[in-house]
């Protein structure tokens, strides 16, 4: 009996080789019909004998191409029409751009096999790709996604490549970046002055230079990396010196997971994250006796490790290095270099040589960073490999542009049930980064064909992202409180649209009262929030200076706890006598010392108090080191104060600081004190949550804010809250830090505008 079925498929199914795959399966199972892209995904109509149909349906449901993932798969019955043959139909003109633009991706297994097959015509060719893999977002200049709207328009396909491109049975059918050594991009090696270095094989020459300890700027998918041999301590130190980067860990890249386990411990669940097509940098525990140079990640128990994301990286690493340092090609706070002339200019003082190529990068995009905790992967920086893939929501939203925060800037566009985050942009205080911010918004709006009707921004009046939003014309503007946005971001990511308790442990954010918040116990939903309590306020002597110098925070806690009668701690000797007098006055009399309830500052202060770090060279450094030294076998806990005032309950430090000082004076090691401090913060969360439950009866708790990048704190908090009967929502696809803030802003703004218009 002949049957006909219609199959509607949603998910990541466009630009990932899905239609050729369906075509091949139809040929294989001898069924007729067609496949096409529509605005939601892929539609297939198929006709044939029951047996063939069953085989076909099973195959397309379960054997999907590597980059595809299916979120909806619906089958319905149709009357047979007697068709013969199977065709890939032209897409509907109405195809929404949102479904078309795919993220940049890795090298698929088939391409990898060809890359290292001496018989293949693309043997050793660093730009091999197919419909299942290769560059996408970074080379797209506009839509529709077609070769002329990518930077591959610079190259005309040779007849062989063109034949592959036109043939639906090949892996390169409509692979827009298709290329080969005859017709595609080429590598060049040049010295720091930009003079070409004569080499038959630029890859072999580059490997040789790296072996000799040279620093190479290497053009990747979304920008330049600076690379050195990770086992060469001298080279790594030299890179640090030239990059003006004292301590921030460098990312590593190895050929395969087998190489990674030689220097890093990988838990079973971390491997799929490491080998994922998105190729994020994954934070992994160091092995003690590895051959990796100590300066790769000084004072750190973790490495950031990624596997190769491009054919060029595979060629460089194959049998050559256990690992290469692959750090962003920039000087400290500048954005990553991605244009060739700009890269040579900005990196000439750092790199000895440039390994570059003539395929232009249209959009700069940094590496993504992920960490495994509470049984799932958590994005810490969602960028290359993920952007601009949609995050699916439970709600239906209008087109909202959310401009994010300032330090780890990302922006977000929403439409319907989808949220599209931009790549990581960086610290907007840097003028080049702010330019990149504006460029990214324009590009995202263009390739997604979205024109926002609402713009959501942070309440902070001085953020560049706020000022940008305010100067837009003809668009509804909504200012969103920072920690409310964190809460909403976590709720939206988890598809939860009710009221929940929000525990927001963060760096700094502008509060409703004009003060700096950051240790917040909230109750809220998308429509609004109420602040039930907070960590008690503490002066930050010198404002921003206290962020860079945790030592000042430590002193602030001491002065506020002990008054004039400070305990004799080594800390006091590390401050110049004049400064000590000055800071004490500032703290005692609230001079140039804004008050903050920030949890990040508490972690900083404790880190300095126990002698871990007096100053930081990047945000979150002291808190991260505090986490890393904690002895996780220690179960002790400190007392803390709880009192009420006008704005709810305060969770206070005098008892906590006194107990830490007593431990310090008693000679307890920092690892024990750190563990007890972590345990205390978990108890703080538990007490606050129970208290709010007693007022509200709410049993769902959302954890958000940058401090929840801390694995020890997050895992213990989730465990205790769940043991207590609470349902705990945490981040996974959206970063808990300010990189995930824009989603919350968008959802809140959409809800508030809808409410206003409805009234």
Among Zn ion, Fe ion, none, residue 161 binds (CB under 5-8 Å by kind): Zn ion
Q: Does residue 366 touch Fe ion according to CB under 5 A?
A: no
Selected range binding Fe ion among 82-90, 132-140, 499-507, 581-589, rule: CB under 5 A: 499-507
Q: Does residue 182 touch Zn ion according to CB under 5 A?
A: yes
DSSP state letters, 233-251: HHHHHHHHHHHT-SSSPPE
Q: Which of 236, 254, 253 is nearest to 298 (CA)?
A: 236
Binding mask 25-64 for Zn ion (x = CB under 5 A): ----------------------------------------
Q: How far is CA 398 from CA 745, 746, 752, in A?
A: 13, 9, 12
- How many residues in the shown chain lie near Zn ion by CB under 5 A? 10
With CB atoms as reference, the residue minimizing the distance to Fe ion is 506
Selected range binding Zn ion among 129-137, 234-242, 268-276, 407-415, rule: CB under 5 A: 129-137
Phi, then psi, of 558 in degrees rounded to 5: -65, -50
Q: Which of 239, 222, 219, 232 is nearest to 313 (CA)?
A: 219
Is the torsion defined by CA of 199, 204, 206, 210 positive or negative? negative
Closer Cβ to Fe ion, 17 or 509, answer by number: 509
Q: Does residue 133 touch Zn ion according to CB under 5 A?
A: yes
Q: Does residue 132 touch Zn ion according to CB under 5 A?
A: yes
- Cα separation, 421 vs 443, whole angstroms: 12
Binding mask 83-102 for Zn ion (x = CB under 5 A): --------------------
The two tokens of residue 117 are 């097959």
Selected range binding Zn ion among 127-135, 212-220, 672-680, 684-692, rule: CB under 5 A: 127-135
Q: Does residue 111 touch Zn ion according to CB under 5 A?
A: yes
Is the torsion defined by CA of 237, 243, 248, 253 positive or negative? negative
Q: Does residue 387 touch Zn ion according to CB under 5 A?
A: no
Q: How far is CA 649 from CA 363, 531, 643, 658, in A?
A: 47, 9, 6, 21
Within 50-143, strands assigned E span 69-78, 86-88
- Cα separation, 151 vs 360, whole angstroms: 6
Selected range binding Zn ion among 5-13, 31-39, 128-136, 197-205, rule: CB under 5 A: 128-136
Q: Does residue 458 touch Fe ion according to CB under 5 A?
A: no
Among Zn ion, Fe ion, none, residue 525 binds (CB under 5-8 Å by kind): none
3 state DSSP class of 669? coil
Q: How far is the CB of 706 from Fe ion (least distance, A)?
A: 6
Binding mask 145-164 for Zn ion (x = CB under 5 A): -------------x--x---
Closer Cβ to Zn ion, 114 or 367, answer by number: 114
Q: Are 598 and 519 in contact (CB under 8 A)?
A: yes
Closer Cβ to Zn ion, 161 or 535, answer by number: 161
Phi-psi category of residue 754: left, alpha or beta, with phi > 0 → left and psi -120 to 50 → alpha: alpha
Q: How far is the CB of 190 from Zn ion (least distance, A)?
A: 25
Q: How far is the CB of 518 from Fe ion (least distance, A)?
A: 7
Closer Cβ to Fe ion, 238 or 506, answer by number: 506
Query: Number of C-alpha atoms within 13 angstroms, CB side, residue 525?
Result: 11
Q: Are 68 and 12 in contact (CB under 8 A)?
A: yes
Q: Does residue 67 touch Zn ion according to CB under 5 A?
A: no
The binder of Zn ion chosen from 25, 180, 610, 688 (CB under 5 A): 180
Q: Does residue 738 touch Fe ion according to CB under 5 A?
A: yes
Closer Cβ to Fe ion, 239 or 402, answer by number: 402
Q: Does residue 506 touch Fe ion according to CB under 5 A?
A: yes
The binder of Zn ion chosen from 13, 44, 102, 108 (CB under 5 A): 108
DSSP state letters, 308-339: --SHHHHHHHTTT-S-EEEEESSSTTSPPP-S
Within 79-180, strands assigned E span 86-88
Closer Cβ to Zn ion, 317 or 637, answer by number: 317
Closer Cβ to Zn ion, 173 or 638, answer by number: 173
Is the torsion defined by CA of 680, 630, 382, 173 positive or negative? negative
- Cα separation, 726 vs 711, whole angstroms: 19
E strand or H helix at 265: strand 264-265
Q: Does residue 625 touch Fe ion according to CB under 5 A?
A: no
The binder of Zn ion chosen from 35, 130, 306, 623 (CB under 5 A): 130
3 state DSSP class of 64? coil
Selected range binding Zn ion among 19-27, 97-105, 177-185, 741-749, rule: CB under 5 A: 177-185
Q: Which of 456, 477, 365, 475 is nearest to 404 (CA)?
A: 456
Q: What angle do CA 643, 648, 652 make, to 5 degrees?
A: 35
Q: How far is the CB of 156 from Zn ion (least distance, A)?
A: 9
Q: Does residue 746 touch Zn ion according to CB under 5 A?
A: no
For residue 8, say if its preceding peptide bond is cis, omega within 30 degrees of 0: no
Selected range binding Fe ion among 249-257, 313-321, 571-579, 735-743, rule: CB under 5 A: 735-743
Closer Cβ to Zn ion, 122 or 731, answer by number: 122
Closer Cβ to Zn ion, 136 or 733, answer by number: 136
Among Zn ion, Fe ion, none, residue 506 binds (CB under 5-8 Å by kind): Fe ion
Contacting positions for Zn ion (CB under 5 A): 108, 111, 130, 132-133, 158, 161, 180, 182-183
Site residues (vs Fe ion, CB under 5 A):
506, 509, 738
């Amino acid at each position: 009996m002949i049957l006909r079925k219609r199959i509607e498929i949603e998910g990541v199914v466009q630009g990932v080789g899905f239609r050729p795959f369906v075509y091949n399966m139809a040929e294989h199972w001898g069924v007729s019909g067609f496949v096409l892209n529509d605005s939601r995904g892929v539609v297939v109509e198929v006709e044939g004998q029951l047996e063939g149909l069953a085989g076909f349906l099973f195959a397309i449901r379960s054997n999907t191409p590597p980059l595809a993932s299916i979120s909806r798969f619906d089958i319905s019955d149709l009357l047979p029409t007697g068709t013969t043959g199977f065709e890939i139909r032209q897409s509907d003109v109405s195809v929404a751009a949102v479904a078309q633009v795919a993220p940049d991706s890795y090298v698929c297994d088939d391409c990898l096999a060809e890359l290292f097959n001496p018989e293949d015509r693309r043997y050793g060719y660093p730009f091999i790709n197919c419909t299942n893999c290769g560059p996408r977002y970074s080379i797209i200049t506009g839509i529709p996604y077609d070769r002329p709207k990518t930077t591959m328009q610079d190259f005309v396909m040779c007849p062989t490549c063109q034949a592959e491109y036109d043939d639906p049975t090949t892996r390169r059918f409509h692979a827009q970046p298709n290329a080969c050594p005859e017709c595609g991009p080429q590598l060049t090696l040049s010295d720091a002055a930009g003079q070409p270095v004569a080499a038959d094989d630029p890859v072999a020459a580059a490997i040789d230079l790296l072996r000799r300890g040279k620093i190479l700027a290497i053009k990747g998918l979304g920008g330049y990396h600076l690379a050195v041999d990770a086992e060469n301590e001298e080279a790594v130190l030299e890179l640090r010196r030239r990059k003006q980067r004292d301590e921030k860990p460098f990312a590593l890249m190895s050929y395969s997971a087998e190489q990674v386990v030689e220097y890093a411990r990988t838990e079973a669940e971390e491997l799929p994250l490491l080998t994922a097509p998105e190729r994020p940098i994954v934070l992994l525990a160091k092995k003690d006796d590895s051959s990796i140079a100590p300066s790769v990640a000084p004072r750190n128990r973790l490495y950031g490790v990624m596997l190769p994301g491009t054919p060029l990286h595979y060629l460089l690493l194959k049998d050559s290095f256990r690992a290469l340092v692959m750090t962003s090609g920039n000087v400290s706070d500048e954005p990553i270099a991605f244009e060739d002339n700009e890269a040579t200019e900005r990196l000439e003082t750092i790199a000895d040589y440039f390994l570059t190529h003539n395929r232009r990068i249209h959009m700069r995009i940094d590496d993504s960073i992920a960490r495994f905790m509470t049984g799932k992967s958590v994005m810490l920086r969602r960028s290359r490999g993920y952007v601009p893939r949609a995050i699916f929501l439970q709600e239906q939203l209008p087109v909202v542009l959310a401009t994010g925060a300032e330090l780890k800037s990302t922006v977000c566009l929403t439409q319907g049930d989808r949220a599209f985050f931009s790549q990581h942009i960086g610290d907007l205080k840097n003028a080049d980064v702010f330019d990149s911010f504006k460029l990214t918004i324009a590009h995202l709006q263009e390739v997604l064909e979205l024109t926002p009707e609402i713009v959501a921004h942070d309440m902070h009046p001085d953020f560049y992202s706020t000022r940008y939003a305010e100067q837009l014309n003809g668009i509804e503007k909504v200012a969103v409180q920072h920690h409310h946005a964190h809460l909403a971001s976590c709720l939206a990511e988890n598809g939860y649209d009710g009221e929940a308790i929000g525990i927001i442990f963060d760096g700094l954010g502008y509060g409703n009262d004009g003060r700096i918040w950051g240790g917040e116990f909230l109750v809220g939903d998308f429509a609004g929030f109420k602040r039930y309590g907070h960590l008690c306020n503490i002066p930050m002597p010198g404002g921003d200076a206290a962020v860079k110098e945790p030592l000042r925070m430590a002193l602030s806690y001491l002065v506020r706890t002990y008054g004039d009668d400070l305990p004799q701690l080594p800390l006091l000797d590390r401050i110049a006598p004049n400064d000590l007098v000055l800071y004490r006055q500032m703290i005692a009399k609230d001079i140039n010392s804004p008050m903050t309830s920030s949890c990040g500052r508490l972690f900083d202060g404790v880190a300095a108090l126990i002698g871990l770090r007096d100053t930081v060279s990047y945000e979150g450094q002291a808190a991260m080191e505090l986490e890393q030294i904690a002895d996780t076998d220690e179960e002790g806990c400190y007392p803390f104060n709880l009192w009420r005032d006008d704005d709810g309950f305060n969770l206070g430090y005098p008892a906590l600081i006194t107990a830490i000082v007593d431990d310090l004076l008693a000679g307890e090691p920092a690892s024990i004190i750190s563990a007890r401090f972590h345990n205390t913060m978990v108890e703080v969360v538990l007490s606050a949550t129970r208290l709010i439950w007693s007022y509200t009866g709410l049993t769902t708790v959302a954890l958000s804010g940058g401090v929840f990048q801390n694995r020890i704190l997050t895992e213990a908090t989730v465990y205790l809250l769940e043991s207590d009967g609470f349902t705990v929502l945490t981040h996974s696809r959206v970063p808990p830090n300010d990189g995930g803030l824009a989603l919350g802003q968008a959802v809140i703004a959409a809800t508030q505008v809808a409410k206003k218009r409805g009234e």
